[in-house]
Structure 1
Amino acid sequence: MELTTVWFALIAVLWAGYFLLEGFDFGVGMLLPVLARDERERRLLINTIGPVWDGNEVWLLVAGGATFAAFPEWYATLFSGFYLPLLLILVALIVRGLAFEYRGKVDSPQWRARWDLCIIAGSFVPALLWGVAFGNIVRGVPINAQHEYVGSFFTLLNPYALVGGLTTLSLFALHGAVFLALKTDGDVRERAGRLAVRLSLPAVALAAGFLLWTQLRHDDAWGWALSAAAAAALVGAVLAARARREGWAFVATGATLVLAVAALFVTLFPDVMPTTLTGGESLTVTNAASTPYTLKVMTWVAVCFTPIVLGYQSWTYWVFRRRLRVEHIPVSHP
């Protein structure tokens, strides 16, 4: 197997890991005003992701860095053509991170309410725009023969990409609700479990429609198989949520996200950014890749350091594995 194919697969794994882990972070942030009824419950919800949210974002940084090093043409065209939506995602992530750190610095309801809005918006915007971005990557965008994006911001707001955005939004919300049902106890757990059941209906409809639309456009055999597996995992998540089997429901929603990302990348291969222009040239794993020597060095670096990162993050989740209750949150705000 060529190193270009290996790195395309590794980048797909990084994005799948990011959607799996950061997906429930976004879901918790979006559901903050829905599930939390008072300040202690809001702090409870934030504390469920407090020890891990910044570690989950490492997957995004590594995915971006790997794309830059392994496929510089892809990186350049992607970030020049998708500049505004990616900038909005970056700003939202920065604001959300600041909100986690600063909402407890001042003992004022107004102060905390403003930062809570930042958490909600900072979770909603990326959850929507990541789906829009990947929808455009799979669908194709206007790229000329010089590998330059020649469309506009409104070119990206096509029906297929918007459905992709609503799909990731609904899946992340469901993933977050299931995670809260798994990570909390008491009334919050019960409300999160009921909400997960309600969120499953739009999530199933949107995900099924988007994956079906994708495969009808591309008709890839492996894409069909992975899409069917993702649909089966999502149905399993719905059944597990209804039975209040939070652990299995979380595994199923996570598998849905991983399999959906895999289906999109398999459908995309060997392109990395197809063009919609008649005289344009699509970016592929061949014409967008770095030199073989660069890919070889990167492969050895990945082999050495990836197990360390995975081991550390697994240890973090193991340490903070227990359920949280409102009683664990002090009554007075520090």
Structure 2
Amino acid sequence: METFWFAVVVLMLSLYVMLDGFDFGTGIVYLAVSRTEEERRMVLQAIGPVWNGNEVWLIASGGVIFFAFPKAYAAGFSGFYLALILVLWLLMVRGLALELRSHFASPLWRQFWDTAFSGASALLAFVFGVALGNLIRGVPLDEEGFFHVPFWTTFTPDVAEPGIFDWFTICMGLTAVAILAHHGSAYLTMKTTGTVHRRARKWADKSVWTVAGVSLAMTLTMVLVQPIIHDHYTARPWGALLNGLALLGLGGMLYGRQTRKDGLAFAASCVLIVGMLGSSAWGLYPNILVSSTDPAFSLTVYNSAASPHGLAIGIQWFSVGCLLMVGYMIAMYRSFRGKITSDMIGDGHY
């Protein structure tokens, strides 16, 4: 039962990164692919109806972690408290930018919120990448299962107690920015027309090779930084299927870009994200929070889970909620299918 809920959390977080990831990526490339007011409205209309719905997966993931692994939830939220507050503020700035830019027709007003939207999107991608880096590297858990990590100490590889931001986690953050920037440009290539489409395609064509390089480089670095990943893959080699899924996504991205199959290229980018996150989780399992002080202090799916009875009852409620959420997402994306054209751009909210 504990393994089932671990898989559910990984799947939900992967869906969040895949869906809200193209919103982040759109924000990262926003100022580069759109320069006039009409072009920026086209970009915003490409994500306007879905961006807040995509964030539901993040909220739902947090709820499932709280329910299924309360001890890991308590340790993680207390140890990463300052970082989580930073994420909350960035999410607020990003949401405010999307909602407020159209309230006044002043060019200065709109430029301010456009810059805030792009900057917050890039920083969110970076911070989430740093968060994954911390989960992979490990945190200094004590015997009671709690920890405190400063924002930074030093950025050299040989530091005994690194902070949230060290050389490895910063590299993970930059990798996340690169992957999601390409993900967003691939989405805009698929959804837009005209000048925005051409600029987004140019960005996607160039960035796909950067994504390929940094993805492979950081995969090797992860194994060097956290040796248990290699040990777990050696003990459970069938997890290599997830690595194969990531490679399939990477190959599909390259093929889609070469053949101008925009839908395939975006779908392959989604597969790459799910494959990379899934393979990272496989390498860490059964650990949720790896202890960098003593492996015996690590929080696993077994020592941090709720009671078996509670987990069993939760399946019933989760099934209903999940069906409602998936049904809503399907209806939302079906009603929003197709490209955004210039004649669809008006003076509305976005």
TM-score range, shorter chain: over 0.9
Shift of 1:223: 4.6
- Does residue 13 of structure 1 match 2:7? no
2:70 aligned residue (63, 69, 72): 72
- Does residue 170 of structure 1 match 2:168? no
Distance across 1 between alignment mates of 2:85 and 2:38: 33
User: Which runs of 5 or more residues in structure 2 are unaligned?
Assistant: 153-162
Shift of 1:326: 2.6
- Structure 1 residues 290-299 or 271-280, which shifts more? 271-280
Contact 1:222 1:266 in 2 (8 A): no
Q: What is the percentage of aligned positions where both structures have the same residue?
A: 35
Distance across 1 between alignment mates of 2:85 and 2:3: 29
What residue number does 2:118 align with? 120
- Does residue 197 of structure 1 match 2:212? no
Distance across 2 between alignment mates of 1:267 and 1:239: 28
User: Which runs of 5 or more residues in structure 1 are unaligned?
Assistant: none
Contact 2:243 2:275 in 1 (8 A): yes
SS of 1:156 mapped into structure 2: coil
1:23-172 → structure 2 map (5 Å cutoff)? 23-154=21-152, 155-172=163-180
SS of 2:130 mapped into structure 1: helix
Shift of 1:238: 2.0
Distance across 2 between alignment mates of 1:147 and 1:287: 10
Give the TM-score normalised by the residue count of structure 2: 0.91
Shift of 1:311: 1.1
How many residue pairs get aligned? The number is 332
Distance across 2 between alignment mates of 1:249 and 1:187: 19
Post-superposition Cα deviations, 1:5-59, rounded to whole Å, max 9, x if no partner, equal 1110000010010011001000111111100020110111011000000000000
- Structure 1 residues 152-161 or 50-59, which shifts more? 152-161
SS of 2:304 mapped into structure 1: coil
- Structure 1 residues 222-231 or 56-65, which shifts more? 222-231
The aligned amino acid for 1:63 is S
Would you identify which runs of 4 or more consecutive aligned residues in structure 1 move more than 3 Å? 222-225, 330-334
2:318 aligned residue (273, 296, 302): 302
2:255 aligned residue (221, 224, 239): 239
Distance across 1 between alignment mates of 2:348 and 2:250: 40
Shift of 1:172: 0.6
Distance across 2 between alignment mates of 1:242 and 1:311: 34
Distance across 1 between alignment mates of 2:348 and 2:53: 28
Give the TM-score normalised by the residue count of structure 1: 0.95
- Structure 1 residues 242-251 or 291-300, which shifts more? 291-300
SS of 1:153 mapped into structure 2: coil
1:317 aligned residue (333, 345, 349): 333
The aligned amino acid for 1:169 is V
CA RMSD of aligned residues (A): 1.7
Distance across 2 between alignment mates of 1:309 and 1:182: 25
Describe the shift of the 1:45–1:76 C-alpha distance in structure 2 as closer, same or farther (beyond 3 A).
same
Contact 2:129 2:169 in 1 (8 A): yes
The aligned amino acid for 1:66 is V
Shift of 1:276: 0.7
What residue number does 1:187 align with? 195
